Structure 1
Amino acid sequence: MKLNALIVEDEKHNQEILKGLLTEFCEGIDIVGITANVEDAVRLIRERRPDVVFLDIELQTGSGFDVLEQVKGIAPEVIFTTAFEHYAIKAIKMSSLDYLLKPIDLEELQEAVEKAKRAKNKPGYGEQLESLLQNLRIPQSDHVKLCLNTAEGMEFVNSRDLRYLKADGSYTQFHPISGVPILVSKHLKEYERLLPPSDFMRVHNSYLINLREVKRYVKADGGYILMKNEAHIPVSRSKKEEFLMRMQGLPPQ
């Protein structure tokens, strides 16, 4: 499968490196443009409608997110590039979007290109980009919107609508306040990093809970957490004191 690619990269040196890697080592890539600023990036996306955009987060006249805000509705596949662990990497992960750290690793680049080929014209991609922009607009301590890749497709959930998450081997079960559980092929630890620490706590090796959905703590049977839906959640001995302190200090909704 062929992909038309646009490179939006801040530095000339990095432009040439990425162009060389794509041309020599990534089959089926046709580079339709290269630019370093927001204005030209927006114009080229609108005019040439690339299938994939390699988008530097920091640009000469703004950011890669400024580009996305101006091309809503076009929604090309986006692979972000950055030279450091940018604050926005967390938001990118929440939306299940791809990013590459510089210096770019060839194997990771090839993997991202193949993923872009498989995802070409997939439904729901515009909503993924919108969830990213939404997460960037709100305070990091506030609620977030997650894009969950499942066997059936993509599910978009707000952190406020989650009751708890449960580890299931290398998978994670999401238990929403309403609706059926959602199974995702990522470790629970991944979501522990993404969900707002103000509301979520890892109370057990297998459970990450929304503290606002706790009904009470029960001392019987060694102690457990009773959620608002009557689910019983175990709490590790090492987490018990922290959990009780967190519940006492939780501000009202």
Structure 2
Amino acid sequence: MLKIVIVDDEFKSRELVKVLLQSCCPDIDIVGLAGNVKDSIALIKNTSPDLVLLDVELGVETSFNLLQQLPAISFDIIFTTAHSHYALQAIKFSAIDYLLKPIDPQELKQAVEKVRARQEQVYFSKKVNVLLQNLQATTSIQQKVALPTSDGYIFVPIDEIIYCEADGAYTTIFTQDGSKRLVSKNIKEYEAMLESNHFFRVHNSYLINLNRITKYVKGEGGYVVMSNQTSIDVSKRRKDAFLAAIARH
């Protein structure tokens, strides 16, 4: 049975999540609810939950203050947050699950089942560390992204990624150390995740790091030469947007 703690600074929100869990998730034990950082830390230490549903905003503090005060993260986390929250990008980079408010019962059920199914606590602790590091980073160069692989995750500095190449439902990611890694997400997901970090989709098959371009050669669409000497075509229909992105960059 999965032991769950619910943390939210709003009483009605805590009770709603409790009702949703009880109605759609079998074999769970809700061991406690808390509304602030201090009470949450005490509750987590006393109950040793398997999963914490954690609201990002906790009054004048945040859930990240809570995580920084715990000696170890020995539980899974599902964040709950508003779509526009500043931390959403950092949460995505760390590959930790999150639910947007208002919470959809089916999405909640799926997120809990994912926790029940996986056995990756070592990786999860690393995800939390990456999340906290990313939140403290002052530039995108200092941030890392979690890349899912066949046997877990690897954590790569975003600026070390040269480009991403589409491979059906997968993506091959090329990095500065000469490695290439096939990861189990499609290129559209990485475009949405990285476009605010100086990445641009120059072609249906390629998402490039603008910081890693060494040369652009003009043509109908033209092509770029990346820092690993790979030449990548710029599609004709994306050329103007690409040149505008370069000018802004």
Query: Please, what TM-score do these two structures have when normalized by structure 2?
Result: 0.90
Instruction: Report if the CA contact (8 A) 1:6-1:31 is conserved.
Output: yes
Q: How does 1:1-253 map to 2 (within 5 A)?
A: 2-139=1-138, 141-195=140-194, 197=196, 199-219=198-218, 223-244=222-243, 246-247=245-246, 250=249
Change (3 A) 1:12 1:249: closer
One-letter amino acid matched to 2:222: G
Aligned-residue sequence identity (percent) comes to 44
1:13-71 CA-to-partner distances (Å, cap 9, x unmatched) read 12112112222321121111111001111122222221100101111341111111111
One-letter amino acid matched to 1:13: K
- Give 1:193 deviation, angstroms: 2.4
Instruction: Report if the CA contact (8 A) 2:55-2:63 is conserved.
Output: yes
- Give 1:220 deviation, angstroms: 6.7
Which aligned runs of 4 or more in structure 1 are off by greater than 6 angstroms? none
Instruction: Report if the CA contact (8 A) 1:45-1:71 is conserved.
Output: no
One-letter amino acid matched to 2:30: I
Pairs aligned (count)? 249
- Give 1:89 deviation, angstroms: 1.4
- Give 1:144 deviation, angstroms: 2.2
- Give 1:72 deviation, angstroms: 4.4
Change (3 A) 1:122 1:75: closer
- Give 1:170 deviation, angstroms: 2.0
Instruction: Report if the CA contact (8 A) 1:54-1:78 is conserved.
Output: yes
For 1:198 and 1:16, locate their aligned partners in 2 and report how far apart those are by CA, in whole Å: 37
Secondary structure (helix, strand or coil) at the match of 1:215 reads strand
1:150-171 CA-to-partner distances (Å, cap 9, x unmatched) read 2121111111111101111222
- Give 1:95 deviation, angstroms: 0.8
Unaligned runs of 5+ in 1: none
- Give 1:78 deviation, angstroms: 0.4
Unaligned runs of 5+ in 2: none
Instruction: Report if the CA contact (8 A) 1:199-1:212 is conserved.
Output: yes
For 2:105 and 2:4, locate their aligned partners in 1 and report how far apart those are by CA, in whole Å: 17
1:198-228 CA-to-partner distances (Å, cap 9, x unmatched) read 5322211211111222222234796321222
1:130-179 CA-to-partner distances (Å, cap 9, x unmatched) read 11111111246554210111212111111111110111122211111114
For 1:143 and 1:193, locate their aligned partners in 2 and report how far apart those are by CA, in whole Å: 19
One-letter amino acid matched to 1:165: C
Change (3 A) 1:101 1:248: closer
One-letter amino acid matched to 1:178: D
Instruction: Report if the CA contact (8 A) 1:38-1:61 is conserved.
Output: no
Secondary structure (helix, strand or coil) at the match of 2:185 reads coil
Instruction: Report if the CA contact (8 A) 2:221-2:234 is conserved.
Output: no
For 2:234 and 2:113, locate their aligned partners in 1 and report how far apart those are by CA, in whole Å: 42
For 2:234 and 2:126, locate their aligned partners in 1 and report how far apart those are by CA, in whole Å: 36
Query: Please, what TM-score do these two structures have when normalized by structure 1?
Result: 0.89
One-letter amino acid matched to 2:79: F
